[in-house]
A and B are shown apart, each in its own frame.
Chain A
Amino acid sequence: MYSSLIDPNLLIAKDSQALLVNGYRKPNLKTSNDPIRRINNTKPTLFIFSAPAPCSPKFFDNDLMGFSKDQLLSQLQELEIDYSKYEHPPVLTVEEQAKYVSSSEGALSKNLFFKDKKHRYYIISAMVDTKVDMKVLSQRLGLGKGGIRMAPEEALAELLQVSLGCVTPFAVVNESARDVSLLLDQKFKNQTRCIFHPLSNNVSISLSTSGLDKFLQSVGRDPVYVDLEANANPVVGKDQPPDLAVYVPSNSVVIPELPNNTPSAQASPPKNVSAEKTKPVASPKPSKSPGNVKSVVQNSGLSVFKNPEKFVEEILDKTSELLFSEVKGENVEALAETLRKRLTSEFTHLAVMYKNTAYSEGFYAGTQCQPKRP
């Protein structure tokens, strides 16, 4: 259906696209050789697979705690992917990275991590001078004009298991990133080598796109290359569906709010829920210990009531949902976006006043409180 809008080079993507249209499959395919990862398709695998690597115990043990740079590099070696490694002090920006890795080694990349309103996540990896217009991207993904924003820091830690300044296509090796969509800049294909962080921002590696593709396929991903600068004025309508909509993950991810916001403190992967939000769980004694999965879900529910912005987001999400289900037509999306844009700030202001009033009443009651009878 969308084939006219997809680059003929993306042959693999076309097949996976067919799968998406037919059902509820996620954009990344799982290998049928893999006993531990879930199998959810019976189509013959489309990628090259180097036998020993994924079955090694090393590979599985660390799945839950996030791949390290060394594990990744040894993976690349086992897959016989050629790469060059450059070590340098930790860098947080492309400008800094450029000081240590010269462009003769390959093309530097800028890597962006986005989230949409329905808690679906995207990694966009592009050449440094490719213009990535969030508004255009959002429209091409079928999310309306303001549909995506930079993902919060917690998501970086929780889903990609990397630190700030370290977003990289390689992050999809983590199980926690299985629902994150990865879009690569078409222009990478014209480069001999491209440079990425191998899960750590004190190392950079350069490798060819075929090397990258081989790696991605080994972890069950179809490499998706997109012309990020095409279609700069997308017209999305009945006869022109958004050209990148196939790459929107079919599952959303809820990032639990941990009380102590330390990036390394997760022992369990985030819960994977369907597009509906987790219902806030009313609990008499919310436990605050990190690593306790049950309390983690409760905390994410609590934060909806603690944080005025999340509260308003919840209200507007439910409103949008109802709108989408009741009203048909192309303008619904635009209307929902307008509602959200215009009402968010007003509602947040109201929510803050509500919160302040409730707190003050409680505070006052506290001052009048009589001590408990012994």
Chain B
Amino acid sequence: MEVDKKEEIASDSSEQVVNPWEVSAKDGGKIDYDKLIDQFGCQRLDESLIDRVERLTSRQPHVFLRRGVFFAHRDFDLVLDAYERGDKFYLYTGRGPSSEALHLGHLIPFMFTKYLQEAFKVPLVIQLTDDEKCMWKNLSVEESQRLARENAKDIIACGFDVTKTFIFSDFDYVGGAFYKNMVKVAKCVTLNKAMGIFGFSGEDHIGKLSFPPVQAVPSFPSSFPHLFPGKDKLRCLIPCAIDQDPYFRMTRDVAPRLGYSKPALIESSFFPALQASGENGKMSASDPNSAIYVTDTAKDIKNKINRYAFSGGQDSIEKHREIGANLEVDIPVKYLSFFLEDDAELEHIKKEYGEGRMLTGEVKKRLTEVLTGMVERHRMARAAVTEEMVDAFMAVRPLPNMFE
């Protein structure tokens, strides 16, 4: 599952394009999320659902929910209904390990998934699609497996509980009950349909064509007989970025035909690049200055924010004090809305900055603090991840206390 954006460059688009391999806005403007929700047919995550989550979990909803980062869903309300009745669910998320360098945007779905795991006390499966990257990025099998293990360490460092989490790589795990489900799913999707959903053509190799079922079947509990024996009706909730929606539309279409529950989704918007203009900035793995990486030092972070973060402030101090900042395009404020926990402080910053009393420098300084704290914490946790720990997370073992 690929979460970082925009490796391909979109050609001139009169329409916005959003799919697992390409994301671009209309005419180089901002992504229209309302239109996307309409187009995909998913639902907005509204206040009432967020309040419900707060009530059910007896804790403050995650900052990503409060700030509308995770803003769309499919059947999340049904999952909550079932949860209230005492019917639990499990979480499924994943990563396509294409590179060793992870940036903050990659961590977002994992940070949110960790919160869901803690708040609802449910188990989690994490899929590392090393086969996908081998096929699409033309990596060797060994290299993609190595990257999968390296990425697993960063994922573990996000703070998942080993007694409730199973991480697996496709190359290691596909087979048995998992493969049986893959075949069942594959039988339900015609070539034409796959080409329609994923944009495959006659030029693509057959590996790519056969990949979608691999990403679909972790949504079915019977794919994990060591985890969920006899629990075929267990629901699945998938936190992901909204560009992954096509995979799961296909899965939801197929599920009832196989007698399985449809997986529910909770979807996030895109994390902007540092130099973004509007929300269309492309975060590119080849440009280290487009993002904050988890391996950046405090000095790197300060430097990147100061030099490359696109500012919505005015050109001169006088003009800024007069008009205030343009909060729509300002990247530091956007980043703060993702990562600054304190709602009151964020509101204060937005107000003061927007009305010209606070300067860009101060906002950037606060952002640097917040990000440095996060990256430092991540680095410390990452250093504590041993090979044995990765083996433990990836061992095919039962999780006896997974719902506690």
Contact = CB atoms under 8 A, between A and B. Distances in A.
B156 interface: yes
A359 B160 CA distance: 13
Interface in B142-164: 156, 159-163
Given A309-B118, A356-B161, A363 B395 contact: yes
A150 B391 contact: no
B172 interface: no
Which of B58, B156, B403 has most A Cβ within 10 Å? Answer: B58
Interface stretch (A61-69, A218-226, A347-355): A347-355
A355 B59 CA distance: 22
Interface in A289-306: 303, 306
Interface stretch (B15-23, B354-362, B381-389): B381-389
A356 B156 contact: yes
A257 B163 CA distance: 18
B389 A352 contact: no
Contacts of B389: 356-357, 360
A346 B159 CA distance: 11
Contacts of B118: 309, 348
B41 to A, nearest CB: 25
B404 interface: yes
Contacts of B160: 352, 356
Interface string A229-263: 00000000000000000000000000001000101
B54 A150 contact: yes
B365 interface: no
Contacts of A348: 118, 159
Contacts of B156: 356
Interface string A336-374: 000000000010110011011101110110000000000
Interface string B48-60: 0000001100110
B401 interface: yes
Contacts of A364: 388, 391-392
A117 interface: no
A181 B89 CA distance: 33
Nearest to B378: A349
Contact of B59 (A149, A346, A363): A149
B204 interface: no
A335 interface: no
A360 B386 contact: yes
A12 interface: no
A355 B161 contact: yes
A280 interface: no
Contact of A363 (B55, B391, B403, B404): B391
Contacts of A346: 377
B84 interface: yes
A152 B161 contact: no
Interface string A132-159: 0000000000000000011110000000
A355 B404 CA distance: 15
B162 A359 contact: yes
Which of B156, B161, B386, B401 has most A Cβ within 10 Å? Answer: B161
Contact-size category for B: 20 to 34
A306 B388 contact: no
B388 A360 contact: yes
Contacts of A353: 159, 381, 384
Interface string B365-404: 0000000000001000100101011011001000001011
B381 to A, nearest CB: 6
Contacts of B58: 115, 149-152
Given A149-B58, A364-B388, A359 B163 contact: yes
Contacts of A308: 161
Contact of A360 (B84, B159, B162): B162
Contacts of A149: 58-59
Contacts of A281: none
A236 B160 CA distance: 40
A150 B391 CA distance: 38
Nearest to A115: B58
B161 A352 contact: yes
A361 B392 CA distance: 9
B84 A349 contact: no
A261 B402 CA distance: 12
Contact of B84 (A115, A151, A164): A164
A160 to B, nearest CB: 15
A307 interface: yes
B101 to A, nearest CB: 22
A348 B117 CA distance: 13
Nearest to B54: A150
B159 to A, nearest CB: 5
Interface in B6-62: 54-55, 58-59
A352 B392 contact: no
A98 B388 CA distance: 56
Given A150-B58, A360-B389, A364-B392, A352 B401 contact: no
Interface of A: 92, 115, 149-152, 164-165, 257, 261, 263, 303, 306-309, 346, 348-349, 352-353, 355-357, 359-361, 363-364
17 contacts: A92-B84, A115-B58, A150-B55, A165-B84, A263-B86, A303-B404, A306-B401, A349-B381, A352-B161, A353-B159, A353-B381, A357-B384, A359-B162, A360-B388, A360-B391, A361-B388, A364-B388
Q: Which 7 A-B pairs have the closest CB atoms?
A: A360-B389, A150-B58, A363-B392, A360-B392, A364-B388, A356-B162, A359-B162
Given A346-B377, A357-B389, 16 more contacts: A115-B58, A149-B58, A151-B58, A257-B404, A261-B404, A303-B404, A353-B381, A355-B161, A356-B160, A356-B161, A356-B392, A357-B386, A359-B163, A360-B162, A360-B392, A364-B392
Interface of B: 54-55, 58-59, 84, 86, 118, 156, 159-163, 377, 381, 384, 386, 388-389, 391-392, 395, 401, 403-404
